[in-house]
Amino acid sequence: MAITENLITSPSQIAGFWRRLFAFCLDGLLLGIFGAAFGLTVFDYLVSLGGWGRLFGFTVTLIYFGLMDSRLFNGQSLGKKAMKIKVVLHNGEPLS
């Protein structure tokens, strides 16, 4: 599995560290905004769950990256899409 840049050029070209980091930070920011908005609406319920409330956030994050990096979304989370990079197999084909 590789993360490529310049979608029009060679699929084997690996995106640089800073571009991948910035894409991850953008995804984290989006998930954080979603989590804060959701947390404000159901705060009392999440507090009643205690530590299990974190499991909900982890599950949302796992589903987000699992779906977005799959073939269903062309291997691009929203952050990767903004940075024009995507996750592909070593031969350049999208993930299953």
- Strand ranges (E), 1-66: 2-5
- 48: tokens are 């009643």
Is this structure's pTM higher than 0.85? no
Tens digits of residue pLDDT in 22-76: 999 999 999 999 989 998 998 888 888 888 888 888 999 999 999 998 888 888 9
Phi, psi of 53 (to 5 degrees): -65, -30
The helix (H) or strand (E) run that includes residue 13 is: none
The helix (H) or strand (E) run that includes residue 54 is: helix 52-68
